[in-house]
Copies of this chain bind each other. A is one copy, B any other.
Amino acid sequence: MRSLSSLLDAINDYAVDHPFPVTPPELYQPCEYMLTLGGKRLRPAILLMGFELFRDDVARALPAAWAVELFHNFTLMHDDIMDAAPLRRGRPTVHTQWNTTTAILSGDVMLIHAYHHLARMNDASTVLSLLQTFNRVATEVCEGQQMDVNFESRSDVSIAEYIRMIELKTAVLLGAALEMGAICADASPDAAAHLSDFGRLAGIAFQIQDDLLDTYGDPAKLGKQVGGDILQNKKTLLVLKTLEMAPKPDVEALLQWMETGAEHPEQKVNAVRAIFDRNDIPRLMAAEKKKFQEEAFGHLEAVQTAPGRKDVLRKMIEDLLERES
């Protein structure tokens, strides 16, 4: 059982050994650039942890792990165009640094390269099984992104629809990473299914937590302005829950704030937060998160594997779900 940092080292070594081609540079440099913005490599690490529930030779699963990371970065590159986002982690997005044509085409080739790495697994039946899981989840991620786009112009989004959107847009990829780790290890279909559910449900819990932290996190730990979602008038779970259950004056006040500019950001954040607070929204959301979290860990416990094998994975997901920012 290797530590998270040891797994990240293995992933980064694989990435260094398998860079994008050099030519044409206009196509591939934006891909390499995107990977430098792309973050913590948690998805491939989680895939390897899924693999290590059953086997030790993680090198075997690295092509699949890297495929998941490339897929994630492809979605970020195209989503940034659709969201007209100028920055990612404080640096220019690809369509800002280059242009929209570049971000479309480099994103396309990044997706194709994800499949290229899947095909590098030695065994044909493993590749077919991975391909089926990968195609299913890639389709779901597109469907989730489409739901997110649709929600922007709708005022009647239900909480169930919102949770289904975050499930498809982000949570299923965590489930697929664990499922693919199990497939690489030739684990049983039953184990792969439980791991898929574990990742998917934990992924929903993460997203609920993200919504909560954006409004209630510790600014020092968050690394960004608290209340960003409020200032952008995002229809987060906090907003939807308030619209669903708060008394009419609070609903009207919230809707009014969401149509107000952010000339006085602190005032706006405090006012909206006060509406959430007096309707007990943070506690209700924390309970919702806990519900998904408990269901998730039930699936992890149901996976049949040798004692102690689950420790690294369980600890990492627990830590991620308990962070305060």
Does residue A97 face the partner (Cβ distance < 8 Å to B)? no
State which of B82, B119, B146 has its C-beta within 8 Å of the C-beta of A26.
B146
Q: List the B side residues contacting A26 at CB < 8 Å.
A: 146, 149-150
In the complex with contacts A124-B125, A131-B127, A142-B105 CB distance below 8 A: yes
Please tell me if A147 contacts chain B, counting CB pairs below 8 Å. yes
Give the residues in chain B near A108, CB-CB below 8 Å: 78, 107-108, 111, 142
Contact residues of A: prevailing secondary structure? helix
Contacts of A149 in B (CB 8 A): 26, 101, 105
Are A139's CB and B109's CB within 8 A?
yes
Contacts of A143 in B (CB 8 A): 23-24, 27, 109
B residues near A23, Cβ cutoff 8 Å: 143
Residue of B nearest to A82 (CB): B101
Partner-B contacts on A (CB < 8 A): 23-24, 26-27, 78, 81-82, 100-101, 104-105, 107-109, 111-113, 115-116, 118-119, 124-125, 127-128, 131-132, 134-135, 138-139, 142-143, 145-147, 149-150
7 example contacts (A-B, Cβ-Cβ < 8 A) are as follows A78-B105, A78-B108, A82-B104, A105-B149, A108-B108, A112-B135, A124-B128
Closest 10 CB pairs of A and B: A27-B146, A109-B142, A124-B124, A124-B128, A124-B125, A82-B101, A116-B135, A112-B138, A119-B131, A24-B146
